[in-house]
Chains A and B, each alone.
Chain A
Amino acid sequence: MINQRVRDLALSDTGFVFDPYSGATFTVNPTGLCILRALAEGLARPDVVRRLRESFDAPPAEVEADLDDFLHLLGQQGVLPQDFHLDT
């Protein structure tokens, strides 16, 4: 179950993100933006990975690793709970 806070993030096409809970603003690269949009839609992990592979030319292992890194980063920033795990 995806966190409501991720659904409420304001995402712009340029990668500018506004978190209305904390008032924080930050920028993400196209990969990050793709992940945030997928999370906001409530996609499960395999679907997020599939979308990333459709959008970016990268080997599966690298996509998985990048996804984990980004989720960890979102946890560090308080956007996701620290113990968050994406449904498989």
Chain B
Amino acid sequence: MTQKPLTIAVTGLNATDNPAPGVGVLRALRLGDPESRLVGLAYDALDAGIYADGLTSDVFLIPYPSQGLEAFFSRLEYVHDKVGLDVIIPTLDAELPSFIDLEPRLRQLGIRLFLPTREQLDLRSKARLVDLGRKSGIVVPATAVVSDVEELGRVHEKVPYPFFVKGVFYGATLASTYEEAVHAFYKVVSQWGLPVVVQATVRGEEFNVVGVGDGKGGLVGAVPMKKMVITDKGKGWAGITVRDPALAEVTQAFVKATSWRGPFEVEAMRDAEGRYHLIEVNPRFPAWTFLSCAAGMNLPHAVAELAAGRPAPVFGDYKVGSMFVRIAIDQVASFADFQHMVTLGEVARTTNGGQP
């Protein structure tokens, strides 16, 4: 007997030169089960993923979580009434606390998530990276949390210049002097608020790992990648899957220490001695997630299955040397879709739950 195709909603549809992960996750889900109904949850009527041909059946605008939990839940309830959601896969850092808080209420509606707990989420936060390093035995760079400019003036006693000034959710600016640090501090505060994280620089090459934790200290699967081209925003524009046992150990140590449940991305620097330093852990899929499919591990599909209470696919080994090169294209968009997004806040391409 075949299982009922799932209706899965995915957030994070913006796809600029600093893309959100939604499009990659949706592509993976489409590949994982061509029968599934994929629904986009967008924050802006011009999010590029809304207009990608054949990607989603329907798209709905949702309010930013900052507009309040009730408004956010109410909109998800509306989407559920319209399409009958089985699973939601959030892909943005800033919305995760809201989704975690809403998980019991969404479950009552029959909508499942596969996310970390609040405690797990906090433990991997940039502000607590040193605690995570201590608990897991992973090497982390010197890090300090600052809440005002006065503290910033003294921070070099703990974290020497040059250092990165980071927002709680996003952004990293390299500062070599106090003046640069102050400038970066105010920029981060205006975008992401307090506190601000100051992190020592590590010389070396950057490696990333996309993975899924089973919530019991084990890995459902993980695929490591080295960035081959990095944009001026520090984003990987091309990458290749690699295999280094030392990097696999870092990933396993993180998952074991946190009993991580759900998708994650480990960002690490490898120094000249081959030692990995954990820079940060993102609590969601990265934008390059589709590479996991090319390497033989469709991690978004696994998350959808696990969220729905089904057994996760059993993965063999991933393929080393799988490569991606991102491309920027001008896709032709439907003006009618744009009109619907602006006026109605939704595009319903199907009425019977089928393909777009």
Q: Could you tell me which A residues sit within 8 Å of B by CB distance?
A: 8, 10, 18, 20-25, 78
Q: A21 to chain B: which residues have CB within 8 Å?
A: 242-244
Nearest CB of B to A69, in Å? 22
The interface bits of chain B over 213-235 (1 if a CB of A lies within 8 angstroms of the residue's CB, else 0) are 00000000000011010000000
Interface of A is mostly: loop
Contact in complex: A10, B321 (CB < 8 Å): yes
User: Is B274 on the interface with A (CB-CB < 8 A)?
Assistant: yes
Contact in complex: A78, B242 (CB < 8 Å): no
Which of B239, B240, B241, B274 touches A78 (beta carbons < 8 Å)? Answer: B274
Q: B228 to chain A: which residues have CB within 8 Å?
A: 23
The interface bits of chain B over 275-302 (1 if a CB of A lies within 8 angstroms of the residue's CB, else 0) are 0000000000000000000000000000
- A22→B274 CA distance, assembly (Å): 9
Contact in complex: B243, A20 (CB < 8 Å): yes
Interface of B is mostly: strand
Q: State whether A23 and B240 are in contact (beta carbons under 8 Å apart), knowing that A10-B321, A18-B321 are contacts in the complex.
A: yes
Return 16 A-B CB contacts under 8 Å, by A number: A10-B320, A18-B321, A20-B243, A20-B244, A21-B243, A22-B205, A22-B226, A22-B244, A22-B270, A23-B207, A23-B241, A23-B242, A24-B226, A25-B240, A78-B272, A78-B274
- A13→B272 CA distance, assembly (Å): 30
Q: B243 to chain A: which residues have CB within 8 Å?
A: 8, 20-21
Q: A8 to chain B: which residues have CB within 8 Å?
A: 243
- A24→B320 CA distance, assembly (Å): 12
Q: A78 to chain B: which residues have CB within 8 Å?
A: 272, 274
Q: B207 to chain A: which residues have CB within 8 Å?
A: 23
Q: B244 to chain A: which residues have CB within 8 Å?
A: 20-22
Q: A18 to chain B: which residues have CB within 8 Å?
A: 240, 321
Q: B320 to chain A: which residues have CB within 8 Å?
A: 10, 20
Contact in complex: B242, A22 (CB < 8 Å): yes
Nearest CB of A to B139, in Å? 18
Nearest CB of B to A5, in Å? 9
- A20→B247 CA distance, assembly (Å): 12
Nearest residue, chain B, Cβ from A19: B242
Q: B240 to chain A: which residues have CB within 8 Å?
A: 18, 23, 25
Nearest residue, chain B, Cβ from A21: B244
Contact in complex: B242, A20 (CB < 8 Å): yes
Nearest CB of A to B279, in Å? 17
Give 9 nearest A-B pairs by CB, closest first. A23-B226, A23-B242, A20-B320, A21-B244, A20-B243, A23-B240, A20-B242, A18-B321, A10-B321
Nearest CB of A to B245, in Å? 9
Nearest residue, chain A, Cβ from B321: A18
Contact in complex: A20, B274 (CB < 8 Å): no
- A23→B320 CA distance, assembly (Å): 9
Nearest CB of A to B284, in Å? 23
Extra contacts besides A21-B243, A23-B241 (11): CB < 8 Å: A10-B321, A20-B242, A20-B243, A20-B320, A20-B321, A22-B205, A22-B242, A22-B270, A23-B205, A23-B239, A23-B240
Nearest CB of B to A4, in Å? 9
